[in-house]
Amino acid sequence: MKRISFVFFFLLTILYGITNQKPTAIYKASGNVQTMAIDGNKLYAGTINGTIEIFDIDSKKKIETITLPKIKDFVGDTTKAKVFSVDVIDGSILIVSQGEAGFRDVYLYKSKQLKKLISPKNKMLIQKVSFININSFVFFLLSNQIGVWDIPMQKQKYLYQISGSSFSHFMISENKKTLASTDESGLVRIIDTASGRITKNLPGVNLDKIYQLDYKKGVILTAGQDRKAVIYKNGQHSSLDFGFLLYSCALSPSADFGAIAYNENNDVLIINTTTKEKLYNLIGQESTMTGIHFKSETELFVSSESPKINFYKVRKK
């Protein structure tokens, strides 16, 4: 397989003029990075060690570490709480972590204080959260239910079932009014965050579970178990087929460019989302991808099941 991959890279380079790009810089967390967020000039990394580690992007230095309380596992041993999801708004950090009895804890870190918002007593297996505003956030359960939590009132506003398929991923729009969600069926839906209701079902192109998607400027990019990346743009859809499971993807802020983790070497392909032109091949990941985040049109971070976060700066083509 390694030889096949090498031949594939060589053919890509010859046919499309793709440039192999090594990391411009590497940020180092204390444990494997499961989730990332960017807010201004700060990078937030959630790890399997129960930490959220904050880096100054310019200096590349770690400036703060938030350590979550340890929990008891199923056999009663004390263990670190794995972090599953992180979001940031106006300096406030929203965190989903492993809780006791198989459920999840949700914390709010604000003004150097850590407050638990949701505990295993709520009996919710929350997979991912995003702020709607400073006072509320949207969440999805593994059972593919969407909910909104009112932070000051400390209660749930609504909880609706989206489908019978297990939840996979969602991304909220820039204005926080809608989100794109997906599940193990491979279907993509647009949902109104105020009501939790589906406003649009997109044409089903992925034939199996979508691991991740991104949603910017009304454009959606998917990364699927069926080895297919789908672009929904300007009312049309197109796809790219690969020879390996696609674990992660992301869109640039303008949605003009997409990034797709596409092969067994965990390389990331940068494409033009309109022409589908293949532009760059980002190399240097050590293990299975967990996330890709663009900071700008030419700068992006890539995390994998490793403490290292690779930063790339490419030339805009």
- Report the pLDDT value the prediction gives residue 7, as an integer from 0 to 100: 42
C-alpha dihedral sign at 101, 89, 160, 236 = negative
How confident is the model at residue 286, as a pLDDT?
A: 87
Q: What one-character-per-residue DSSP string does 3-22 give? A: HHHHHHHHHHHHHH-PEEE-
pLDDT tens, residue by residue, 8-58: 444 444 334 688 999 999 999 999 999 999 999 999 999 999 999 999 999
Q: Look at residue 66 in the predicted model and tell me its pLDDT.
A: 98
Cβ-proximal residues to 40 (8 Å cutoff; 6+ apart), any chain: none
8 or 177, higher pLDDT: 177
Give the pLDDT confidence score for residue 6 in this predicted structure: 42
Q: What percent of the chain has pLDDT over 90?
A: 91
The C-alpha angle 133, 139, 144, rounded to 5 degrees, equals: 150
Please give the helix or strand (H or E) that residue 2 lies within, else none: helix 2-16
What is the rounded average pLDDT for all residues in the chain?
94
Q: Where are the domains of the chain?
A: 1-30+203-317
State mean pLDDT over 148-158. 97
pLDDT of 17 reads 62
Measure Cα distances from 263 to 97, 171, 241, 256 in Å. 29, 23, 11, 22
pLDDT of 215 above 90: yes
- pTM (two decimals): 0.93
Flag the least confident range among 62-71, 74-83, 191-200, 238-247: 74-83
Q: Which CATH number fits domain 1-30+203-317: 1.10.10.10, 3.30.1370.60, 3.90.930.60, 2.130.10.10?
A: 2.130.10.10
In our burial notation (b when 16+ CB lie closer than 10 A, e otherwise), range 223-248 reads bbbbbbbbbbbeeebeebebebbbbb
CA dist 22 and 311 (Å) reads: 9
* pLDDT per position as a tens digit, 159-172: 999 999 999 999 99
**Taking a C-beta distance cutoff of 8 angstroms, is the pair 247, 259 a contact?**
no
Distances (CA, A) of 163 to 129, 179, 183, 221, 261: 18, 16, 9, 21, 27
Query: CB 192: neighbour CB atoms within 10 A?
Result: 13
DSSP, collapsed to helix, strand or coil, labels residue 232 as strand
Residue 248 has pLDDT above 90, yes or no: yes
CB 202 within 8 A of CB 232: yes
pLDDT of residue 257: 98
Which has the higher per-residue pLDDT, 79 or 7? 79
Q: What is the pLDDT of residues 277-311, one digit of tens each?
A: 999 999 999 899 999 999 999 999 999 999 999 99
